Amino acid sequence: MDRIRLVLFGILFVALVGPFFVKTKIKVTPSPEVKAAYDFVENLPNGCKALFSVDYGPSSQPETHPMVVAMARQLLRKDCKIAIMTLQRFEGIMMGNDVMAYVSNKIGAEYGEDWVMLGFRPGVVQVLTNIGTDFKSVFDRDVKGTPLTDIDWLKDVKTVKDFHFVAVFTASATGDWWVTITGARYNIPIIIGSTAVVAPSLYPYYQSGQIKGIIGGLRGAADYEYLVNSPDMAMTGMLAQTGGHVVILIFILIGNILYFFGWERRR
């Protein structure tokens, strides 16, 4: 019995780990809300400015990191610029720097020229309200201490509306705050990428037109990677997850068949 158990766990291990060593692109059918987010970004002019709000910590990284990477790649291909802030204290700064370091390493983006980290400011309501009237009263310099007036593509930013859109990547309720405070007051286009458990609460905003799209969980991130034509962490994760599910279902089926024939013999 122990030997059989080891074989079963070995097969499951191979199904889960294999996709991380065998890189492949799978064909997926992106959901409408992910396609809407992709199309909105794709239709922006070259050289646009995006504001990312990275509002998650390490525990949500496997779901949210890939969607940030995919959208950043799409924007940087269009020579767009990305400013990053967070409502998640120092975790958000750490995650934002980590994900953009990954992107920079992959495609050669440079800090200051292509993206900057603005950091965290306390007081959610005050921050999301005041960036709509005087952006530099909230963020006057980046985390390295460089004044925004010394960063060529940020020196003319006066309010959040000087960005073409806001992308919120969250594992909590920060997406709701962005929609109800900044989006409602200043009519700035918003896209929200979230963990799978948060995504269902965002659909009323999408259906009412208050946000341009939703990237929900690892599946949503995989859809976005497919659309950007850059298979990466999300597609690999989905292959591993799918392989694990298939193997478990096969084990359950085999177990039930063996139990059935064993029960028939006992009769």
Neighbours of 78 (CB within 10 A): 15
State the chain's mean pLDDT as an integer: 89
For residue 34, name the pLDDT band (cuts at 50, 70, 90): very high
Looking at residue 150, the DSSP 8-state letter turns out to be G
% of the chain at pLDDT higher than 70? 90
pLDDT in the model for residue 209: 95
DSSP code for 125: H
**CA distances in angstroms from 257 to 24, 245, 260, 262, listed in the order given:** 33, 18, 5, 9
pLDDT higher than 60, residue 266:
no
Q: pLDDT band at residue 265, thresholds of 50, 70 and 90? A: low
pLDDT digits (tens, 9 = 90+) for 174-196: 999 999 999 999 999 999 999 99
- Distance CA(31)–CA(11), nearest Å, equals 31
Question: What would the mean pLDDT of 254-264 be, rounded to a whole number?
Answer: 74
pLDDT for position 15: 67
Residue range 199-254, pLDDT digits in tens: 999 999 999 999 999 999 988 999 999 999 877 776 666 666 666 777 788 888 88
The rounded distance, in Å, linking the Cα atoms of 161 and 248 is: 49
> Cβ(68)–Cβ(37) under 8 Å?
no
Of 37-51, 55-69, 133-147, 227-241, the range with the lowest mean pLDDT is: 227-241
The DSSP secondary-structure symbol of 27 reads P
Q: What is the pLDDT of residue 23?
A: 65
Which residues sit opposite 214 in a β-bridge?
192
C-alpha separations of 90 from 93, 140, 144 in Å: 5, 18, 14
The pLDDT value recorded for residue 267 is 55
Distance in angstroms (rounded) separating the CA atoms of residues 215 and 179: 15
pLDDT tens digits for range 127-154: 999 999 999 999 999 999 999 999 999 9
Interval 80-93: pLDDT, tens? 999 999 998 889 99
pLDDT at 29: 83
* Tokens of residue 133, six digits: 């009237």
Say if residue 197's pLDDT is above 70.
Answer: yes
CATH code for residues 27-230 = 3.40.50.10160
For residues 215 and 221, the answer to whether their CB atoms sit within 8 Å is yes
Report how far residue 49's alpha carbon sits from residue 203's, in angstroms, rounded to the nearest whole number. Answer: 26
> Burial level of 56, CB count in 10 A (0-12/13-18/19+)?
buried
Highest mean pLDDT among 12-21, 108-117, 235-244: 108-117
Token pair listed for 59:
């525990």
